Amino acid sequence: MVNQEIARIFNEIADLLEIKGDNPFRIRAYRRAAQNIDGLPKDVAHLSEKELIEIPGIGQDLAGKIERYISTGKIEGYEDLKKEVPEGLAVLLTVPGLGPKTAQLLSSKLHIKDIAELEALAREHRLSGLPGIKDKTEENILKGIEMIKRGKERLPLGRVLPVANELLSLLREKAPLQGLALAGSLRRWKETIKDIDILATSGEPEKAMNAFVHLPMVKDVLMKGPTKSSVLITEGIQVDLRVVERESFGAALAYFTGSKEHNIRLREMAVKAGLKINEYGIFRESDNKRLGGEKEEDVYRLLGLPYIPPELREDRGEIEAALKGTLPRLLEIEDIMGDLHVHTKRSDGSHSLDELIKAARDRGYKYIAVTDHTKGLGIARGLNEEKILEEIEEIKAVNKKLRGFRLLTGAEVDIRSDYTLDLPDEVLKQLDFVAASVHSGFRQSREQITKRLVSAIRNPFVSVIAHPTGRLIGERDAYEVDLEGVFREAKDAGKAIEINAYPLRLDINDVYAKKAKEMGIPIAISTDTHVLNQFDFMEYGVSIGRRGWLEKSDVINTMGTENLLKWLKKARSAGGHRRS
């Protein structure tokens, strides 16, 4: 999509304007526009000017710039701006702690053009002596460069959350802190995380901060104050701890949870209502009287809004919905009745049916679908026709003995590069549940891969498309695919789309989940469990669903067993008509 390209250019324009010292609100406008275009599930190339202006943060001017970029490939002013700012200078802004003012200074005095030069000069202590720069600043610049070299700025949620929870329990044990809570993008369940934000109250903040910066995994202390400290831990993750008074805890939690854009919107509303919101509370502007802040709900209540769950706080329309009273009633983990993507040791899973049944029942589930890989996936010991039929027989036998729980016969069939499935219809039609997914040929063209998914959807026996984009967060990009086109087909054929809850997948993501909901496509949230404790991944999937504004009724595995089986049957007959 051209969206990401435009977002990149708008962000670069913001960088360049920042170095020039331009109007900060203009800079903010470019960044906001970039963010909203980036997160848009529609290709801006296909939008009219009127539709562009409906995107928050896009006005007459930027809409025109986008339109002309689509037709001419150029964004006016951008080239001129690049000429005004020395080549490569914007790159310096990627060094943490180094902002536009310092970049400008380094460029004008020392003509530094890239990070390599900056590093060399800092090592030779040639930066010291510039106005406002001494040894310590030099040291911090080198530290910042080290952080860049260490690589990835954002880590997958699934890698960070376990570390964060471990940190919490350690802090509970070692520091005089109360009410410890995760905040920031972790609390919003964003799919990648830049740092771990922790909020707490304490009667002895100084002592608590000391305990924090001396935790065993702390590698470096970035800053340390009485109410806020930041450290770098061994995994290379930054951890911020903020300590506030109890009466401010709710306001601080709202502030520290973000997103920044959501908070800005709230604070703007507050100003208009004669209020002031900061991390200490909600105050009346006229006499600074505290109106609330102990509970997070206070913030929303005093603005006349219903409580907005953290997963929605991205300034993607949740404030408008709250004002109109149309916030979704979000899906809860307790709504999930079963898992529709589970592997056994017959293919590449690790457990028997009995072990899986017990684990699922322990979670209160009513059913699981057994979806072993099929023969196309040799590497995962995929099952051939004979073995699948064998498994069906075994499941039928097990089901006869079960009370209040049901195994669905199923498979995760491979969608081959030649647009066919790797099991014949005669076998598929004997299964309760068929997930179809792509495991190879990722480099095919957008048209080819889209056609593969569409062909699978048009097979009457397919129930759901699993991990529809094939991405592995931080490891492998999604293949090129027209998901919107795939969604339209799924809508016509009455099929579901999966949110794969495996933490490195989270596929489809929140933005497309919202899109699917808007298009009326049923969603299955499934864990792709290979080992028992991976059933716990459901929490990640539900959170992606919540970030996508999903309600219980949008998700098929919130249905009871009978209703689900009915739905599956209907998906078959609906799909059958579309057979091509």
Partner DNA sequence: GCCGTTTTCGGCCCGACTGTTTTCAGTCG
Q: Which 172-191 positions form the footprint of DNA (CB under 7 A)?
A: 184
Instruction: Residue 220: count other Cβ atoms within 10 Å of its Cβ.
Output: 13
Closest CA to 410 of 356, 330, 477: 356
Choose which of 15, 191, 195, 314 interacts with DNA (CB under 7 A): 195
Phi, psi of 130, rounded to the nearest 5 degrees: -65, 150
In whole angstroms, how close is the CB of 232 to DNA at the nearest point?
A: 12
Taking contact as CB under 7 A, which single stretch among the options 275-283, 330-338, 468-476, 554-562 is the one that binds DNA? 275-283
Collapsed DSSP state (helix, strand, coil) of residue 49: helix
Amino acid in the structure at residue 64: G
In whole angstroms, how close is the CB of 47 to DNA at the nearest point?
A: 14
Reading across the β-sheet that carries 290-292, which strands appear in turn? 275-278, 281-284, 290-292
Query: 333: burial class by Cβ within 10 Å (0-12, 13-18, 19+)?
Result: middle
Binding track over 129-168 against DNA, x by CB under 7 A? --xxxxxxxx-x----------------------------
Choose which of 47, 98, 370, 377 interacts with DNA (CB under 7 A): 98
Q: Which is nearer to DNA, 7 or 454 (CB)?
A: 7
In whole angstroms, how close is the CB of 136 to DNA at the nearest point?
A: 3
For residue 183 the two structure tokens come to: 């905040």
223 binds DNA (CB under 7 A): yes
Choose which of 5, 61, 114, 390 interacts with DNA (CB under 7 A): 61
Q: Alpha helix locations (H) across 228-350?
A: 249-257, 260-272, 296-302, 318-324
120 binds DNA (CB under 7 A): no
Q: Which 37-56 positions form the footprint of DNA (CB under 7 A)?
A: 53, 56
20 binds DNA (CB under 7 A): no
260 binds DNA (CB under 7 A): yes
In whole angstroms, how close is the CB of 568 to DNA at the nearest point?
A: 43
- Answer for the pair 179, 246: CB distance below 8 angstroms, yes or no: yes
236 binds DNA (CB under 7 A): no
Q: Do strands 195-201 and 238-244 pair parallel, antiparallel, or not at all (unpaired)?
A: parallel
Q: Which is nearer to DNA, 320 or 562 (CB)?
A: 320
Q: Which is nearer to DNA, 267 or 451 (CB)?
A: 267
Calpha distance 316→58 (Å, rounded)? 13
Calpha distance 122→124 (Å, rounded)? 5
Closest CA to 305 of 278, 328, 325: 325
Amino acid in the structure at residue 198: I
- Answer for the pair 171, 207: CB distance below 8 angstroms, yes or no: no
Amino acid in the structure at residue 35: Q
Taking contact as CB under 7 A, which single stretch among the options 116-124, 222-230, 479-487, 563-571 is the one that binds DNA? 222-230
Taking contact as CB under 7 A, which single stretch among the options 118-126, 267-275, 303-311, 376-384 is the one that binds DNA? 267-275
Q: Which is nearer to DNA, 178 or 238 (CB)?
A: 238
Taking contact as CB under 7 A, which single stretch among the options 220-228, 360-368, 388-396, 545-553 is the one that binds DNA? 220-228
For residue 125 the two structure tokens come to: 């202590």
Instruction: Residue 509: count other Cβ atoms within 10 Å of its Cβ.
Output: 22
Q: Which is nearer to DNA, 30 or 540 (CB)?
A: 30
Kindly list the residues in this chain that would bind DNA in the complex (CB under 7 A): 23, 25-26, 28-30, 33, 53, 56-63, 77, 93, 95-103, 131-138, 140, 184, 194-195, 197, 223-229, 238, 240, 258, 260, 263-264, 267-268, 270-272, 276-280
